[in-house]
């Protein structure tokens, strides 16, 4: 039996809590910030705010109290939006212990520091708790609703510690949720974060009424530019052609459940970003903030990212999606590269 705390009760956090609750004997706690989520699960065993219509097993205990959520746990799964990761871990610090395993499931990069989520956790735990956390990340093509509905899903867990990855693989795997192991933490985290920017671009293509040729080209060249950046940051190139890279990229660029793609589609149809975000009812499209961080990393490592640059211009400078696509198509000719 493992005691597992999932910190963050959005759609993905709720789905992961349901995954680990399927294993006999696991003690699973789900920490929720929103009172609406607590009330909804208490009332109907359903997260009506973020994952409506899905029954949450009674063995998943929901709480808004960090002390209650973290008491005696062995594994902490971090699933809050990237911009809240640092502050949340600072609030949790007094209850964190060296024996705990820290698993990040957030697909983002901290906007100001350009740190990956495991780097943020490592920094906060080291500063406030005085120990180096045992840490890893889980990522891959995984829409939360489909995971909760037990559609076959395959992801990867990355850690520099093989025993850490093996423990997560054992505790999270079941006939509906297959977990591979990977030692490239940088690549797995950056693949999961950067693909959201390309997914916004894919949505822009859809919103503009462009066809399959355009989206196929965008995915291919998007994979090339996020691979360039990930490798410059220390990732292994082969990671970007696996589950956390190409797999997650294809899903997020083409699937109707993708929030980032939906944001891009609305932008392509001419809706202003503020209106789009306000209509998401508390849900987060990580790619909006990751676009800033991606360009910051690209500048730091002197990496060219033309698709990301155009998405930033659309999101933050009010650039016309038509103009952005035209500029991408009229760039000087080049020899095709993979990264």
- SS3 state at 139: strand
**Which residue is it, tokens 């399959």?**
212
Residue 256 burial (C-beta neighbours within 10 Å; 0-12, 13-18, 19+)? exposed
- SS3 state at 116: strand
b/e sequence 48-68, b meaning 16+ C-beta within 10 Å: ebbbeebebeeebbbbeebee
- SS3 state at 56: coil
CA–CA distance, 207 with 120 (Å, rounded to integer): 35
| Contact (CB, 8 A) for 190 and 233 | yes
Active site positions, annotated = 195
């Amino acid at each position: 039996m493992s005691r597992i705390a999932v910190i963050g009760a959005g759609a993905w956090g709720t789905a992961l809590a349901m995954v680990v609750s399927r294993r006999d004997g696991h003690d699973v706690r789900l920490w929720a910030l929103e009172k609406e989520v607590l009330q909804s699960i208490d009332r109907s065993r359903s997260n009506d705010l973020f994952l409506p219509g899905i029954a949450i097993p009674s063995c998943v205990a929901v709480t808004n109290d960090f002390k209650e959520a973290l008491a005696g746990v062995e594994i902490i799964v971090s699933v809050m939006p990237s911009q809240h990761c640092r502050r949340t871990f600072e609030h949790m610090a007094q209850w964190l212990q060296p024996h705990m395993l820290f698993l990040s499931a957030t697909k983002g990069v901290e906007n100001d520091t350009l740190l990956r989520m495991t780097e943020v956790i490592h920094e906060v735990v080291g500063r406030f708790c005085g120990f180096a956390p045992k840490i890893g990340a889980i990522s891959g093509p995984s829409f939360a609703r489909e995971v909760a509905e037990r559609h076959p899903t395959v992801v990867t867990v990355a850690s520099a510690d093989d025993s850490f990855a093996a423990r997560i693989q054992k505790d999270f795997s079941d006939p509906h949720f297959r977990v591979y192991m990977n030692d490239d933490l940088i690549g797995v985290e950056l693949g999961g974060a950067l693909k959201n920017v390309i997914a916004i671009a894919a949505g822009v293509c859809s919103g503009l009424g462009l066809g399959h040729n355009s989206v196929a080209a965008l995915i291919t060249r998007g994979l090339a530019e996020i691979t360039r950046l990930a490798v410059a940051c220390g990732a292994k190139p082969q990671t970007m052609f696996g589950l956390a890279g190409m797999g997650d990229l294809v899903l997020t660029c083409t699937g109707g459940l993708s929030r980032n793609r939906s944001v891009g589609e609305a932008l392509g149809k001419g809706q202003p970003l503020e209106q789009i975000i306000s209509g998401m009812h508390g849900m987060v499209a990580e790619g909006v903030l990751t676009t800033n961080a991606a360009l910051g990393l690209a500048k730091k490592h002197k990496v060219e990212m033309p698709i990301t640059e155009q998405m930033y211009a659309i999101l933050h400078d009010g650039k016309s999606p038509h103009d952005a696509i035209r500029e991408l198509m009229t760039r000087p000719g080049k020899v095709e590269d993979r990264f």
